[in-house]
Amino acid sequence: MRKLQIDVVELPLARPFAIARGTRTAVTVIRVTLEQEGFIGQGECTPTARYDETPDSVKAMLEAVRTDVESGLSHHDLQHRLPAGSARNVLDCALWRLDATRANQTLWQKSTCSQPESVITAETLSLDTQECMALAAADAVSRGALLLKIKLDRNAILEKVAAIRAAAPHATLIIDANEAWSGLELESLLVALKAFNIAMVEQPLPAGQDHDLKRFKHPIPVCADESCHTRADIAGLRDRYEMINIKLDKCGGLTEALAMVDEARTLNMRIMVGCMLGSSLAMEAALPVAVNAEFVDLDGPIWLAADSSPFLSYSQGHIWL
């Protein structure tokens, strides 16, 4: 018989984190611990208001399946018991870890993914003034960052990118607009951004309102984030996007994320793996997806005032494994 423990934990941030939708100084995560015959499996998710989630709503979904989980629900059967989202993710990852531990395997072995020495991850530049973002970029590259993810809204886009490129002339730059560029002339904006050697732009338009992306050939690859949740979404995005961003909290866990990798490859879509703010417990679960991705954005723990086990090692622009 399994035991399920659900904990709601508030994680203060080391500094404010701002995107086009708002600013945060802390993040609330839900952690699940499964215990079976002395073996432990844990997971972590971050309920997200953008997807109509709250800590209370996610906890209620977990309580609704408690009996099934404690009676032995598998991570395969879980896919049919809960919809894609944070609640399924936290249980799915806990079940993956529990199954791996019971089989005396690592998560890498259980997922049949080869473990590399390290993975290059983006370091996110929080939305701020032009001057502050340039300073943040200079600081990041001075610490060895190789890939910078720039959070932008509609204001001073080119000016901020120019200042960041000047501060980080050799870094790979990607941009995340978080759906904020409605009403802008996208083709000319992307042409202008190409001059700064931008490698990718993520979700410039709101999900469901991104048809303008079909109008022109993109001078920079465009990645679907809020528009892409599960493998069922991918085929319908090929006329608007070149890439998808796989996040465990969106798709509902590692099981679906690995299926999304296979589907994206079948459909010749490029792959990014991203995260919500969270600890190393959440990031580690996404690493088997990261080794299949062109861009990795798993920097959540570096924004926290204090991380949690398994305490991934972040330095010189890498996650060291």
Q: Which residues are catalytic?
A: 151, 247
The CA distances from residue 77 to 4, 95, 118, 158, 321, in Å, are: 17, 11, 32, 48, 30
Peptide bond between residue 55 and the one before it cis (omega within 30 degrees of 0): no
**How far is Cα 91 from Cα 96, in angstroms, rounded to an integer?**
9
52 is in an annotated binding site: no
Please say whether the beta carbons of 81 and 63 come within 8 A. Answer: no
Residue 217 tokens, joined: 């050939």
| Residue in the structure block whose two tokens are 């473990």 | 115
Residue type, 175: I
210 is in an annotated binding site: no
202 is in an annotated binding site: yes
Q: For the chain, what percentages of helix, strand and coil (3-state, to nearest 5) are there?
A: 40, 25, 35
**Binding-site entries for Mg(2+):** 176, 202, 225
**Binding-site entries:** 176, 202, 225
